[in-house]
Amino acid sequence: MTLAETDFTFVTGMIRQRSSIDLQPGKEYLVESRLAPVARKFGDKDVAALVLRLRRNDREACEAVVDALTTNETSWFRDAHPFEAFTGLMLPEVKRTGGPTVNIWSAASSSGQEAYSLALLLIDWLPMNPGRTAMIHGTDISPTMVARATAGKYSQLEINRGLPVKYLVRCFDQVGRDWIVKPEIRALTSFRQGNLAQPPVGLPQMDIVFLRNVLIYFDLPTKRQVLANVRKVLRPGGFLVLGGAESTLSLDENFARVETDKVVIFRNGGGT
């Protein structure tokens, strides 16, 4: 691996500025291995040549590099317990206190498995709750991930990562070797590009926000900014679900902890 220190510093500075992702020294191997295919795509002989292109502010190359340096790891019903709390705790409370449409934000939705997992639970909940509708709003900084989530198309390998077979049979159509989420499930979702470090644009007031496994990529001031941005659209009393390794503790005192026996979630206390 040959990435020069100055090139690494340049790339990480650009990534921080465009996505707030914090790549510290020590991540040189990650950067170089993720950027090698991007260099090939642009016809550059190596990553150093690609960095020259970035230094010239080539817009397409800059976007492709941000895209390549996001970590998009996800799976169906990831960590299970937040989804149990979704049906067991959050939806009953939202039904009691919320409006006719349940709005859910899958913030950092990656390729869509989290948003569709929630939609799969809603297709059983909605008929039992006449007069209610629901919408899951997925956002991610990566245009590639937004396009993948919108398409709702998954390989067998991706399906095998946590999707219960009862949902595969009922809610997916097989197309060649892939599986596509049925239109009636897709109708409960919409996906768009968005940077969590910036104030949310065009999102309705949310009852529930799933913001999982993304705060870990940000430095402290950005974590605080992202949580403040979430509170701009999360209604007072609305629920926030973070990843297992994440918390609002020491970041934002406006969230109250709600502990169930298996998972900790957070509620917006309504401060400004």
CB under 6 A: which stretch of 26-34, 48-56, 65-73, 146-154 binds ligand SAM? 65-73
Site for ligand SAM contains 186 (CB under 6 A):
no
Site for ligand SAM contains 189 (CB under 6 A):
no
Burial class (CB in 10 A: 0-12, 13-18, 19+), 261: exposed
End-to-end CA distance of the chain: 48
- Nearest approach, Cβ of residue 212 and ligand SAM (Å): 4
Q: Give me Rg for the CA atoms of the chain.
A: 20
Site for ligand SAM contains 195 (CB under 6 A):
yes
Of 107, 114, 80, the closest CA to residue 211 belongs to: 107
Quote the CA–CA distance of 157 and 118 in Å, as a whole number: 20
Decide whether 16 or 95 has the Cβ nearer to ligand SAM.
16
CB under 6 A: which stretch of 16-24, 53-61, 200-208, 257-265 binds ligand SAM? 16-24
**Near ligand SAM by CB under 6 A: residue from 196, 206, 240, 264:** 196
C-alpha 216 chain-centroid distance: 12
Contact between 217 and 107 under an 8 Å Cβ cutoff? The reply is no
For the window 22-41, what string marks contact with ligand SAM as x by the rule CB under 6 A?
A: --------------------
Site for ligand SAM contains 114 (CB under 6 A):
yes
Tokens of 149: 């989530």
CA distance readout (Å), 159 to 37, 47, 83, 177: 26, 33, 17, 11
Burial pattern 151-188, b for ≥16 Cβ within 10 A else e, equals ebbbeeebbeeebeeebbeebbeeeeeebbbeeebbeb
Site for ligand SAM contains 154 (CB under 6 A):
no
CB under 6 A: which stretch of 22-30, 91-99, 140-148, 159-167 binds ligand SAM? 140-148
CB under 6 A: which stretch of 24-32, 188-196, 233-241, 246-254 binds ligand SAM? 188-196
Site for ligand SAM contains 77 (CB under 6 A):
no
Site for ligand SAM contains 145 (CB under 6 A):
yes
Site for ligand SAM contains 248 (CB under 6 A):
no
- Nearest approach, Cβ of residue 238 and ligand SAM (Å): 18
Of 157, 151, 150, the closest CA to residue 177 belongs to: 157
Contact between 235 and 204 under an 8 Å Cβ cutoff? The reply is no
Interface size with ligand SAM, residues (CB under 6 A): 25
- Nearest approach, Cβ of residue 111 and ligand SAM (Å): 7
Q: Which residue has the tokens 């109708």?
A: 187
> What's the residue count for the chain?
272
Site for ligand SAM contains 70 (CB under 6 A):
yes
Q: Where do contacts with ligand SAM occur on this chain (CB under 6 A)?
A: 19-21, 70-74, 78, 108, 110, 114, 140-142, 145, 194-197, 212-214, 217, 243
